[in-house]
Amino acid sequence: MKRLSGLRLQVEDPERLAGFYAKMLGMEALADGDAWRAGYGGEDADLILLPGGTKASHNRDERFWKIGICLPDLDLACEQLLQKGVEVSAPHQFRDIGYMAHLHDPEGFSIELLQHDFLGNRPDGAGDLALPLGGGAHVGQITLRTGDIAAELALRADMKLLSVQDVAESGFDLHFLAFTEETPPDPDLQSVANREWLWRRPYTTLEFQHIPGAQLRDSPAFMGLEIS
């Protein structure tokens, strides 16, 4: 079966950025010619950091949005990052979607940390103080923006739609797709009951933030996805 195996980003300094992901977020980093590859070594996608980019601000009108990292204990992960001098937002439960926090890497890319369990649902002993990000982290989402979700779903007909999450008060909805034969526990794809299940999947989902009718510009750094 196919899998979403990589996110290609053109960056200013691939080696330095790979070092950040290794040292601060616990990924393994390997040189690949002039590029660097950073990842957790599981079924999830790697970050493929290509040379030739420039450090720039990333705006809401760009197609590429963020990298999502799912993990067992968000409070522990944030505490570790702060101790290393990494700025990270305070963990918070965002609606009925997830318990999350946000940071930026040295080149300005947005990273979302998302706990497997909602606030108050995390089992005791979920994290390990001795491991980066408390252990068990994986790239859970690669997130793109779109103004036309029907067109995106048609183009990705070989992927399974696993969840639809409405965030109407913020003007968007979220759609999560993956190469998988798994079926969510609740057949209603908008069910909240599927969400903690989704954050535990060992593979990376392709998430679309659908802003109806939005006119988005290409993200200069986004060089596409690796499917293997």
Distance CA 114, CA 161 (A): 20
Tokens of 181: 């034969």
Residues with Cβ within 8 Å of 183's Cβ and at least 6 positions away in sequence, in order, are none
pLDDT of residue 56: 75
If phi > 0 it is left, if psi is from -120 to 50 it is alpha, else beta; for residue 141 that is beta
- pTM (2 d.p.): 0.97
Closest CA to 26 of 103, 74, 80: 80
Q: For 134, which DSSP code? A: G
pLDDT of residue 58: 77
Residue 151 amino acid letter: A
pLDDT of residue 224: 98
- DSSP assignment of 10-57 equals E-S-HHHHHHHHHHHH--EEEEETTEEEEE-SSSSPEEEEESS-----
pLDDT digits (tens, 9 = 90+) for 212-221: 999 999 999 9
> How confident is the prediction along the chain (228 residues), in pLDDT tens digits per residue?
999 999 999 999 999 999 999 999 999 999 999 999 999 999 999 999 999 998 877 788 999 999 999 999 999 999 999 999 999 999 999 999 999 999 999 999 999 999 999 999 999 999 999 999 999 999 999 999 999 999 999 999 999 999 999 999 999 999 999 999 999 999 999 999 999 999 999 999 999 999 999 999 999 999 999 999
Establish how many alpha carbons lie within 13 A of residue 78's alpha carbon, considering only the half-sphere containing its beta carbon: 19
Domain boundaries, the chain: 56-218
pLDDT of residue 228: 96
Strands in 40-170 per DSSP E:
46-50, 64-71, 92-94, 98-104, 110-115, 138-146, 160-167
pLDDT digits (tens, 9 = 90+) for 47-71: 999 999 988 777 889 999 999 999 9
Q: CATH homologous superfamily for 56-218?
A: 2,3-Dihydroxybiphenyl 1,2-Dioxygenase, domain 1 (3.10.180.10)
Beta-sheet pairing, 205-210 with 138-146: parallel
pLDDT of residue 55: 80
Closest CA to 156 of 80, 67, 227, 72: 227
